[in-house]
Every structure is written in C-alpha cells, then in structure tokens.
Amino acid sequence: MKRPLLLACLVCLASCQRATVDENGARVVLASSPQRVATTAGIPASQGTLPQATATLAPVSGAGRTAGGMSPPRVVPDPPFTSTPVATFNEPWAMTFLPDGRLLVTEKRGTLRLAHVATGQVGQVTGVPAVAYGGQGGLGDVLLHPRFADNRLVYLSYAEAGSGSTRGAAVARATLTLDASGNGGSLSNLQVIWRQLPKVNGESHYGHRLAFGADGKLWITSSDRQAMTPAQDLQSALGKLIRLNDDGSVPPDNPFAAQGGIAAQVWTLGHRNLLGIAFDNAGRLWTHEMGPAGGDELNLIERGSNYGWPVVSNGDHYDGTPIPDHATRPEFNAPEAWWTPVIAPAGFVIYSGNLFPWYRVKGFIGGLASQALIEIEFNGTQAREVRRYPMGRRIRDASRGPTARCGCWRTAAADDC
C-alpha cells in the first residue's frame, strides 16, 4: 500500500529565528542563509500512515562557517538550516511558486494543490488530466510559462496510459484561473503538447522534469523507461533530452531537426533516468540522472551530444553484470561528477541570487536513497560535491521562490527509486 509522504516547504521570513521538528520527525529545511525550502518524505512502512507537511524557512542565527571572497567575510551558520512543518500533502512530487508566493504542488495520484505558505492553508486546482498512477508514474512536474503573468499558462507532466498495459510520459499546458477566495482554482483549455513515444510496458523511469530556458524554449527530460537500448535510437523519445517551442512545436535549430520525426525533438541522447534539470548563471544547462547499481551522474549538456547509456556507465547492472566505464569509450560524453554508492538524485536548483552570496552559483540536489541535500560547487564547466546535508528523509526536488528572499525544497513520493 502506498503511504502518504511528507512535503516540507520553506520561505525566508526575517521574523523567524529557528524551527522545530514535528512529532512525526518530519523535517523542513530552514535555511540559515540559503534561499530555499526543503520537503521531506519517504515514510517507512513500519511506521504506518503518517501525515505530510509543508513548512516555513528563515535565517538561523549563530556562529558558523565564514565565507570570504572580495567582500568582507560573512558568517554562515553551521548547521545552516532547521525545519518546521506547516501543511500536509499526499505523495507530493513537484512544486512551483506563483508570483505572489503561493505554491502549486502536484500529488502523484493526480491532484494539483494550491498552498498558502504563510498560513498553511491548502486548496485544490481542478481540471488536471487523468494520470496513470503506479510505480514511479502519476502526476509529475509543474511549471509556469515565462510570461505567466500575461498568459496564465501552467505546464504539467504526467504518466499517461496507452493501449493495453503500455504507458508513457506526457506534457500538457492549460490556463490557470484562481478562485476569488484565493484558496483554489481550475485549469481550462488543456492541450497535450508532447508525448513520450513509443509507449512501453512498466511503471518506471519516466523522467518528465520540465524547465524553460532564457530563450523561451521548453526542455523535457525523457528517461529510458528501463528499456535501455532505445536511448541510442534517435527515432525513440526514450533516454533523451527534448527541446521544444512553448507550444510543443519543434525549433528548426535543434541538432537533429533535419531527420524529422522524433529525432527532430532531441537535443541530447544516451540518458538513463533524468530527474533534475537546471541552468546556471552563465546559461549552461545541467542535468542529473540515476545510474544503475552505482554511477549516478551530473552532466553538462552539450548540443547533439551522446551520453552513452546503456553502452557505458560508471555503474553496473543490478544483477552484477559489468558495464564498460565512460573512460573506455571517449566518443561518449562523460559526466562532470558521478556517485558510487549512489545518491539517487532527484530535483535540482542552482542558486543565482544576491541575498546569500556564499551560495552563489552553488547547486543543490535532492537525494532519495541518500536522504540528503547534496551541495554542488561549479567552476565553469566543472562540478563537484562539496557538502552533504543529512535530512533523514527522501528529498525529491528543489525550487527557487519568486523573490530573492524565498525558495523551496520539495520532497518525494514513495516510489521505488
């Protein structure tokens, strides 16, 4: 039986000094300086069904590490955050801020919630498409159009049923109308703009993380659905990073546009299970993906590049069968950072604000199996883990808030990652 999971969400509030751990041990990250919020999940079956929560976040006072640089040193508290639950959700998977600071939160079973972070009040947005719930499938990411203030467009990704027992990811967009009460809303004019083809059997490795680039193009992570070999086939969407116009049409400057069909949508290939995507402050695109038994990857995305799955990996198959490492096949793009044992990465944000200069251009990856937040340091096109923050719960995702003073981490549903 699927158990409901915790979602913790934080917002920087100057009046807050520290937060607490709730009675169920559910943590919400309270950044002592970083602009982020954390959600935690993954209730062990032995604990039974427990409530889920969101929480508020604020600076933590006290001594800690000193961040230097050209400006005067600043004290970074250590530990840098604590947590306080403020609302509950059932299997939360993703979240995005509205411009006014409220949150849209997806629940895996197919419900879109509207949450007031300041009050903890949670409502519902109707009009969500039917989802194929099961395994890692269900309602996935949620993202606002870059011109949301003008067009009110919201993008959703989800697992969609096909013929027989087949399934695949899909992305739809719709117009969001909020109720006059401000506690709920509805989606209208829903349009499916992309489908992950071919649909295949199974309930794993959908990917379907969403991001918009500075040029207004929509990026979709399309995982391999555990089919493996289609990741090398340009006429399959499996194991690819997809780049589209905001209406789902194909940009003519995509690297394989001349081949037509699915290949025209593809920006990169040879991926396994892509569950994080973020742009850095220089406009470089980074993704991370789950490896098999070992070999989780953080990759710098380069136009038209092949990242090697399943021909190469820094991990092995689950049955112990070796896979050649990236170093054996230099024609494939090797990861900038990789992990064995795995961290089971999920969700990704790169901080680019001014309020917390010691975290500028740092990345934060949610860890499922590792139950941690993974801090990443970038040096141009290089990347490495510099710190790990144990959370005691599975961290699904991370997202920046609408102002320099707030942000949020979001956590995961209990899937089999």
66-75 — which CB contacts under 8 Å span 24+ positions? 67/357, 67/358, 69/357, 71/357, 74/357, 74/358
CA angle 293, 297, 298 (to 5 degrees): 165
What DSSP element (H or E) covers 148?
helix 148-151
By DSSP bridging, strand 362-367 and strand 372-379 are: antiparallel
DSSP state letter for 6: -
Q: Would you state the structure tokens that stand for residue 62, as one six-digit string?
A: 């006290």
Residues 6+ apart with CB under 8 A from 152: 175, 176, 177
d(C-alpha 222, C-alpha 3), whole Å: 26
Residue tagged 């290949």 (tokens): 263
Please count the CA atoms within 13 angstroms of the CA of 257 that sit on its side-chain side.
11
Looking at the DSSP bridge assignments, the partners of residue 306 are 269
d(C-alpha 92, C-alpha 85), whole Å: 14
Q: Would you state the structure tokens that stand for residue 353, as one six-digit string?
A: 């604000």
d(C-alpha 95, C-alpha 398), whole Å: 8
d(C-alpha 407, C-alpha 59), whole Å: 12
Residues 6+ apart with CB under 8 A from 189: 174, 175
Task: Locate the DSSP E strands across 226-307.
Answer: 240-244, 266-269, 273-279, 285-290, 296-300
Query: Which residue in the list 116, 205, 208, 271 is annotated as catalytic?
Result: 205
Active site residue 205: yes
Are the CB atoms for 27 and 21 separated by under 8 Å?
Answer: yes
Residues with active-site annotation: 205
